[in-house]
Chain A
């Protein structure tokens, strides 16, 4: 059965690691990476497949680094 799932694409070099998206995510999909980007910030990354594409993270992101996708997945 087809399911609606989401995905996020983080612009790693623009992320400043403020963690506001983690507090906003209802499905605990986002966490900070262990690596750092070119500016020395830990960046947001997806840690599981629970993303529903609700856009909460992208809306609260102060730097607008998150692009959200939503579509059907055949599983």
Chain B
């Protein structure tokens, strides 16, 4: 395959300004084209590389699309039972208090089957980082309705849209756990545009650095797309996410340094 428009005078090793980090194992990611998981994996690994803590970090992978996260991240990882990643991370952090521990969970794992573990780990004020990918759907099993599915949103088990009187209200678990005293830092970000990706990376960096202070849980929610589950192209799903997900899941910091902010906006 010929490549037109190659600038050979620039294409040298000393001119590289961005390259996939070596902390991601050199194999293709198992995610669908356009999925936000890949970006979050890369930002997490870049953060660990910049902080130079890759040999002191232990990750806990969930059940869901990201169940194979340990296959892609070149650090020590443990696979948890469905929803039990915060319980496992609690044990790891208590046995290895000098290590950096994070869990990487989706909304089916953290907000559905693992709600009890999440809330209790947050309420106890454990000192690890939770990275929560929210796409409003059970992506891995075929796009069924999740607790985080928006009102009126179509999924394979709510084909006429989520009907709130019969199917209940969506769960804003991030705002729920932000009110708990054991939680120190809560933020909600996205990864569909370059500026949002940069903000997400800063949030992950802050969340990992706060483990040194032993103040409590740092919780980073990333609102992501699921173009396969939503039955859209990746670019369409990013636009749909901006128009529909962000009004219900507003981006920004929710709790910084143990103090709640923008609580009036969340109340509505």
- Interface: A28 (CB within 8 A): no
Q: How far is the CA of A53 from the CA of B42 in the complex (A)?
A: 19
Count, chain B residues at interface, CB 8 A: 42
Give every chain A residue within 8 A of B11 (Cβ-Cβ). 7, 9, 69
Give every chain A residue within 8 A of B18 (Cβ-Cβ). 55, 58-59, 66-68
Categorize the interface residue count of chain A: 35 or more
Could you tell me the distance in whole angstroms from the C-beta of A9 to the nearest C-beta in chain B?
A: 7
- CB contacts under 8 Å to B, within A10-51, are 12, 14, 16-20, 22-24, 33, 35, 41, 45-49
- Interface: B79 (CB within 8 A): no
Q: How many A-B residue pairs have CB under 8 A?
A: 115
- The answer to whether A7 touches B34 (Cβ under 8 A) is no
Given known contacts A45-B3, A73-B7, A23 and B235 CB-to-CB distance under 8 angstroms: yes
- The answer to whether B192 touches A60 (Cβ under 8 A) is yes
Q: How far is the CA of A9 from the CA of B59 in the complex (A)?
A: 31
Most chain A Cβ neighbours within 10 Å, of B4, B18, B192: B18
Select A20's contact among B5, B20, B42, B235, beta carbons within 8 Å. Answer: B235
Given known contacts A70-B15, A71-B9, A59 and B198 CB-to-CB distance under 8 angstroms: yes
- The answer to whether B36 touches A62 (Cβ under 8 A) is yes
- The answer to whether B233 touches A19 (Cβ under 8 A) is yes
Question: Whose C-beta in chain B lies nearest to the C-beta of A58?
Answer: B18
Give every chain B residue within 8 A of A7 (Cβ-Cβ). 6-7, 10-11
Q: How far is the CA of A19 from the CA of B193 in the complex (A)?
A: 12
Given known contacts A5-B10, A16-B33, A70 and B17 CB-to-CB distance under 8 angstroms: yes
- The answer to whether B10 touches A70 (Cβ under 8 A) is yes
- The answer to whether A60 touches B10 (Cβ under 8 A) is no
Q: How far is the CA of A14 from the CA of B25 in the complex (A)?
A: 13
- Interface: B153 (CB within 8 A): no
- The answer to whether B10 touches A65 (Cβ under 8 A) is no
- Known A19-B235, A64-B21, A65-B20; 10 more pairs at CB < 8 Å: A9-B11, A16-B32, A18-B34, A18-B235, A24-B194, A33-B1, A41-B33, A53-B17, A55-B17, A62-B34
Which 3 pairs of residues, A with B, have the shortest CB-CB distance?
A: A18-B34, A62-B38, A16-B33
Q: List 11 A-B contacts (CB under 8 A).
A: A5-B7, A18-B235, A19-B234, A20-B192, A20-B234, A22-B235, A49-B7, A59-B198, A64-B38, A66-B18, A73-B7
